[in-house]
Chains A and B, each alone.
Chain A
């Protein structure tokens, strides 16, 4: 293998067994979510397949469909395992779409501020800092409450709550790059400002953004679940993991624990794995720990 920064990065990453296991787990979970219709015994959104007689059965129950509900069923008679996998799919979708758009917006704002400088930079960064001083959950909660329930409203709320993290990171990295000689050289050729920002500054500002992105996808999924749990997130027709947990809450006190517990476990396993991977990448990129 050639000795590139990426190959060195991978070699170092492989030394942390926990992070490798977490990365594998993330990969498997994403894969299962992608091929959900092929691996689940039931399509939980197809009302024709839901039998109310099967509702709220404990794990291991064999229902009218003549297959075992390994994790039990929920209050609508959905097979919980299928519902969790489909819910994971929705949660992932929301997390990736919202974080992705937030990443693009944040990168544009941050790089533009660092490149243009002056009043625009101080105004843009002031707004970003101000937003960062409010907790993301509060911002998302306010926006979601104002806009009402729905997919797009929720994505908008998540983007609004998250772009500032990306903008801050991109600005820091881009401002450092802006000072370097190669940027001066590129400008003196002269290349257009757009080209310098997109082709020269942005690639060098990317590594810290990737670290932030892994953590932010996890936090977007968690935020989405929290908002859905509070009843200001997704509509109940296609439940995400948060919605499944919320639906099970009322049965928790009567001992039907599985409706809330298993979706929660799925959520946590995924978020923990994602955070472990993000942590390892961050530690590897932190120059202050290299002595």
Chain B
């Protein structure tokens, strides 16, 4: 088990280094941040001073090395646009995104898995067909268009839900949260629904496919033969057996929800990380872009590691094989 963890950590490190070089080169090869920083009629002296201040006059590899050096000290540089440390900027936007992501993933799992299992348990009933139709729609409807629909129906036509922003927030342990106030909760519902749609469909589909295959298996035949009620068979045996792929997906989806949050946050003007990265791409705020991409890469590596470990914990065969 320890060897397995060490091997995964070693791989993760290589990936981080590769990602940082790639992201850095890619991001620093586009556009000219000086044009964003200084007005076109600034004097040559001011120009040179700003270039020197941000280290933009150094060769690319030099900039990269000093960039890595600074990262190792936890310093991601200063945002060109906000003129504050990037790490602070990202940390200040993170809670909003995490709140949104968690709300979406929880909704998708808690609602999606039970109805997906039902659809797998009775694959030919009309309700199951309706569930699958919803799931196919959920897969096919692009997130951004579904968001527009939500805004149109609930914010413009019926006017019962706010169309954007975070609403009133409450500070808890120095971090602002929306879900603790009524107003904040109302602001959270539409974006969370929007973000949940894809995971929701995915959970339904996975739960259905898993249940459908398992209902034909010997496990279920024997459990039924032993006189267990259908509910016990489903909740004790089937749910446990389909939980392995579900946990994997749950973990991976946490990460990809963060990626899709870019879309949802743009539509609902949710002041999280996704909106920050879109803004920084349009304004060529490179330190923010680099730091965000590195942050997401790191997050994914950590999530993948955790999913692997959860796998090992859930599946005794894997635990034995690697011990």
Contacts and interface: CB of A to CB of B under 8 A. Distances in A.
B158 interface: no
Contact of A267 (B142, B143, B260): B142
Interface stretch (A40-48, A130-138, A173-181): A130-138
Contacts of A142: 23, 26, 293
B260 A288 contact: no
Nearest to A225: B142
Contacts of B11: 126
Contacts of A232: 281
A162 B175 CA distance: 38
B252 A133 contact: yes
Mostly, the A contact residues are: helix
Contacts of A143: 26
A5 B163 CA distance: 53
B260 to A, nearest CB: 6
A138 B259 contact: yes
Nearest to B26: A146
A141 B212 CA distance: 35
Given A222-B142, A253-B163, A279-B136, A135 B260 contact: yes
Given A133-B252, A226-B144, A229-B263, A257 B152 contact: yes
B53 interface: no
A21 interface: no
A146 B136 CA distance: 32
A137 B148 CA distance: 19
A29 interface: no
A272 B296 CA distance: 30
Interface in A113-157: 126, 130, 133-135, 137-138, 141-143, 145-148
A249 B259 contact: no
Contact of A229 (B30, B144, B152, B252): B144
Contacts of A249: 148, 267
A231 interface: yes
**A218, A230, A245 — most chain B CB neighbours (10 Å):** A230
Given A222-B142, A275-B136, A145 B216 contact: no
A148 B27 CA distance: 10
Given A226-B142, A260-B152, A272-B137, 18 more contacts: A134-B255, A134-B300, A135-B256, A142-B23, A146-B23, A146-B30, A218-B140, A225-B145, A229-B142, A230-B278, A242-B144, A245-B144, A253-B156, A260-B148, A261-B148, A261-B149, A268-B145, A279-B136
12 contacts: A134-B255, A135-B256, A229-B144, A249-B148, A253-B151, A260-B145, A267-B142, A268-B137, A268-B141, A268-B142, A275-B139, A288-B213
Interface of B: 11, 15, 23, 26-27, 29-30, 136-137, 139-145, 148-149, 151-152, 155-156, 163, 212-213, 216, 252, 255-256, 259-260, 262-263, 266-267, 278, 281-282, 289, 293, 296, 300, 304
